[in-house]
Amino acid sequence: MDPDLVRVEPLLDVVNIYAADTPTSMVLHSAIRFDYDPASAAPGHPASHLTLNSMQCRIACAAPMHVGRFMDFIFRHFYAGLWAAHRSYFTEGATRHIGERTLTDDDRTSPHLMWR
């Protein structure tokens, strides 16, 4: 995708432009995402986790993460200028919770994310 186009147009509009033109040539890949799927929890696949770069890199998280907390994390660490410009918006969302702790004893023995 054209990086300049992504900066000036809404992301979904850009995706739709590329999908309408050549849908088979577009592959969407996320460098970081949050997943919560308690039904799929197993050793090596925590119920709540961040996935980094590939599906095999899962870092256990303390609990299901509210979208506001996740967006605060992403903007604070990857788009610091935008985060600073809208700090009060992100800070409000970063205090929300959506579920109980999901860390297992196995998750606690490996690097994991914990917050209050």
Using the predicted structure, report yes or no on whether residue 67 has a pLDDT greater than 90.
no
Q: Which two tokens stand for residue 57?
A: 């890199």
pTM of this structure: 0.67
**Which percentage of the chain shows pLDDT scores above 90?**
34
pLDDT per position as a tens digit, 80-110: 999 999 998 888 877 777 888 999 999 999 9
Residue 53, Ramachandran bin (φ over 0: left; ψ between -120 and 50: alpha; else beta): left
- Band the pLDDT of 24: cuts 50, 70, 90: low
Summary mean pLDDT of the chain: 84
Task: Collect all residues with Cβ–Cβ distance below 8 Å to 17 and sequence separation of at least 6.
Answer: 5
| Beta carbons of 49 and 57 less than 8 angstroms apart | no
Q: What is the mean pLDDT of residues 51-61?
A: 89
Q: What share of the chain is helix, strand, coil (3-state, %, to 5)?
A: 45, 15, 40
